[in-house]
Structure 1
Amino acid sequence: MRSLASEIIVYTEQQKEELKLKMPQKKITAAPNAVLFKNEMSCDTATEVNDIIYVGRLIADKKPLLLYHGFKKVLKELPEATKLVIIGNGPERAKLLELSKKDGIEHRVFIPGEVTKASLLKEYYKKSLVSASPGYVGLSITQSLGYGVPMIIARDENHSPELEAVKDGFNAKFFNSNDEDSLAQGLISFFENKEKWLKLRKEIVEDCSIRYSIEAMTATFINLLK
C-alpha cells in the first residue's frame, strides 16, 4: 500500500528517516501524536507541588503495581504532603485500592478512576512534580509534557512511538525496568532536585508545543492539501 501512495505519513521523525532508507523515492513526512492544543498547554503550578501522577489504563502491561510498590518503599523519605495519584480504570484498580487499604496508606494514594474532564486533569498535573510510566510509555507522555511535568520512565520496555518526545535529563529520567528500588530512587531524585524541575516546566511546555501540539500534528495533513 505504501508503494501506491504519493505521500506517506508516519508517526515519528525516526520512522520517517528509517522509511526513507527503504523508499528514497517517496515523499515521507511525520505527524506526531498529540492530545493538547497549544493554548491548552500550561506550566502553571499549585501552591504546593508534591504529588506523583500516573495517567493511563490500569492493566498489567502498564505496571501500576510496580509504581505503587516503588512509592511505598520511599514513602517516609518523601514530603508528608506527597500523594501518589493514579488516574485510570482497569483490572489493576481493585488491587491497588485493596493494597493501599491493607498497607494503611490509603490517605497517601489517591485512585479516583477515569478522569475525562480536561480542567480537572489539569489541576492534578499542576500539583504533580513528576509523572510516571512504570510500564511501556504511551500517549500520556505528551499530555504530561504539555503541562510541564517531567516523566520517570522504565528503560527497557516495548514503548510506543511517543517515546521520541523524551529528552533524558530535560523532560524525563529513566529507571531500570521491573526494579522497584531503581524506581524508588528515581522518585527521590526528582524531589531532591525539585527546584531544577520546577524551573524547567516552562521550557518543557515550550518544547512540547513546538513538537507535540495538535497544531504540529495537523500541520502535516494541512500542508498535504495545499
Structure 2
Amino acid sequence: MAATVEQPRLVVHLVHQLDVGGLENGLINLIRHMPPERYRHTIVCLKDYTEFHAHIKERGVEIISLNKREGKDFGHYMRMYKTLRALQPDLIHTRNLCGFEGQLVAALAGIKLRVHGEHGRDMSDLYGKRLKYQVLRRVLRPLIGHFIAVSADLEHWLIDSVGAEPERVSQICNGVDSVQFHPRLGPPAAVGPAGFMHDNAFVIGSVGRMVDVKNYPTLVEAFLRLIASPHPAHQRLRLLIVGDGPERAECLDMLTRAGASHRAWLPGERTDIAQLLRTMDLFVLPSLAEGSSNTILEAMATGLPVVATAVGGNTELVHPGFTGILVPPRSPDLMAAAIADYCRIPEMGARHGMRARSQVIARHSLPAMARGYLAVYDSLLGHAPCAGTEPPRR
C-alpha cells in the first residue's frame, strides 16, 4: 500500500495591510524561506494590499482583503470570522496591536493554535503603556499560545508589561538577504536629478515610510544645519530619503524654504532599494520607535555605517564606535554631529561599514530567521523539528 503523503499545514498570517514596509517585507521573506512541503500560507489583510507584493501570489500564496474601513467598522469582525471559518487553518499568526483582536475572532472560529508577533509600536503608543491597549492585551493574552518578539526590548516588554509567561515568548531576529544587499564595487552610480550627484559627493541616505513615527524632519533639520556651517567638507553633502508618506511633503517644504532642494532627492516609493543603498555613504534612521529595523539591516549588509536613534531594537543592531553611532530621538544637533564625524573621517565609515556587514552575515541571515519561526510552528503543531532548527528560546 502506498504511503500517505501528509498535506502541508496551513498558516494564516493576519496583518493590517500588505504594502511597502519592514514588517511586510519580513513576512514575504519568511514565506519564501519556509519549507513548502511542511507549510502553506495565506495572508489575510484587515485593509488591503498593493501590487508591490503581487509576485508572492505566483508562489501559490492566497492574499485576502477584509476591506476594513477607517474608524469603527464592526462588520470587518464578521468578515474575518467567515474568512477564518472557510480557511480552517492549522495555525494563525497575528502581528502587532491590530492582531490582538484577531486572536479573539480566531478563537471563536475554532482555530486552536495561535501565535502573536510584536514587530514595533506606532505613534499612538510609542512605549506600549497606553492604558486601553494594555487592558486589551492583558485580557486577550491567555488566548495566545506563543509570542514572538523581533527584539530583546519587545521581548522584555511582553513579559514585564503584558504579562506573557517567559516560556511562551521567543525572540527571533529579523533577517536580511546579504546577496541582494551587498557593498558597491567601484564608484557609486549616478542617481537623481541633474546636479544631485557629483564625483566628491557624500550621500546621507535613509529608507522608510515617511510617517510621523519615523520622524524624518529631524534628519532634514540635521542636514540643513550641516550645510549651513562653514566647514568645507560639508559642501559635499547630499541627502537621499527613499519612501513615501504624509511627512514627505513637509520635508520637501523644509528643503525648499532653506534653498537646499538641489542638494536633496526624495524620490518617493521605489523598488530599486538595493541599488540606491549602494549610492549612499552613510545610513541614518531618525525614528521615535523601532522594533528591529529591516532597513538598518539592509544598510549594514550593504556595508554602510549607521547613525540611528537610541530607541527599541536600534540599540541591539547598532554598536556605537564599532558599526555606527546612536543619538537620542528628536536631537538634530547631536544627529548632525554624528553625521559630520563620518563626513570628515571617511576611513571611519569604511571601517564601521565593513564590521556592520560581518555582523549581519553572522547573526541576521534569512535562513536563520526562518528556522526560528519554523521551530515555533513545529513545536505547537507537534512536528518533529527539521534538521538545523532548535526549540524556541526565551
Give the TM interval when normalised to the shorter protein: 0.7 to 0.9
Q: 1:198 maps to which residue?
A: 350
| Alignment-mate amino acid for residue 91 of structure 1 | P
| Alignment-mate amino acid for residue 259 of structure 2 | G
Q: Is 1:187 aligned with 2:339?
A: yes
Distance in 2, matches of 1:127 and 1:74, equals 20
Structure 1 residues 46 and 178, CA gap change in structure 2 (3 angstroms):
farther
* Counterpart among 179, 186, 198 of residue 39 in structure 1: 179
Unaligned runs of 5+ in 1: none
Q: 1:131 maps to which residue?
A: 283
> Which moved further from structure 2: 42-51 or 189-198?
42-51
State which structure, 1 or 2, has the greater radius of gyration over its C-alpha atoms.
Answer: 2
Distance in 2, matches of 1:147 and 1:56, equals 16
Are the counterparts in 2 of residues 126 and 147 from structure 1 also a CA contact under 8 Å? yes
Structure 1 residues 65 and 46, CA gap change in structure 2 (3 angstroms):
farther
- Post-superposition Cα deviations, 1:192-226, rounded to whole Å, max 9, x if no partner, equal 22112213323311211222222221121334531
- Secondary structure, counterpart of 2:337 in structure 1: helix
Are the counterparts in 1 of residues 287 and 309 from structure 2 also a CA contact under 8 Å? yes
Structure 1 residues 63 and 17, CA gap change in structure 2 (3 angstroms):
closer
CA-based RMSD of the aligned residues comes to: 2.8
Q: 1:69 maps to which residue?
A: 221
Are the counterparts in 1 of residues 308 and 314 from structure 2 also a CA contact under 8 Å? no
Unaligned runs of 5+ in 2: 1-140, 189-200, 379-384, 386-394
| Alignment-mate amino acid for residue 32 of structure 1 | C
Structure 1 residues 15 and 69, CA gap change in structure 2 (3 angstroms):
closer
Q: Is 1:11 aligned with 2:166?
A: no
Q: 2:322 maps to which residue?
A: 170
**Cα shift at 1:39:** 2.2
- Post-superposition Cα deviations, 1:111-158, rounded to whole Å, max 9, x if no partner, equal 00011x2xx322222222211122234432222212121221223xxx
| Alignment-mate amino acid for residue 102 of structure 1 | R
**Identity among equivalent pairs (%):** 19
Greater RCO, CA 8 A, separation 6+: 1
Distance in 1, matches of 2:182 and 2:142, equals 38
**Cα shift at 1:50:** 1.6
Q: Is 1:56 aligned with 2:208?
A: yes
Structure 1 residues 98 and 3, CA gap change in structure 2 (3 angstroms):
closer
Relative to the length of structure 1, the TM-score reads: 0.80
Structure 1 residues 164 and 81, CA gap change in structure 2 (3 angstroms):
same
Q: 1:208 maps to which residue?
A: 360
Are the counterparts in 2 of residues 33 and 162 from structure 1 also a CA contact under 8 Å? no
Distance in 1, matches of 2:211 and 2:320, equals 26
> Which moved further from structure 2: 141-150 or 7-16?
7-16
Structure 1 residues 112 and 17, CA gap change in structure 2 (3 angstroms):
closer
- Secondary structure, counterpart of 1:40 in structure 2: coil
Q: Is 1:86 aligned with 2:238?
A: no
Structure 1 residues 58 and 10, CA gap change in structure 2 (3 angstroms):
closer
Matches within 5 A, 1:137-156: 137=290, 138-155=293-310
| Alignment-mate amino acid for residue 373 of structure 2 | F
| Alignment-mate amino acid for residue 164 of structure 1 | E
Structure 1 residues 153 and 162, CA gap change in structure 2 (3 angstroms):
closer
Matches within 5 A, 1:98-113: 98-113=253-268
Structure 1 residues 94 and 9, CA gap change in structure 2 (3 angstroms):
closer
**For this pair of structures, how many residues does the alignment match?**
217
Structure 1 residues 45 and 152, CA gap change in structure 2 (3 angstroms):
farther
| Alignment-mate amino acid for residue 150 of structure 2 | Y
Distance in 2, matches of 1:152 and 1:179, equals 12
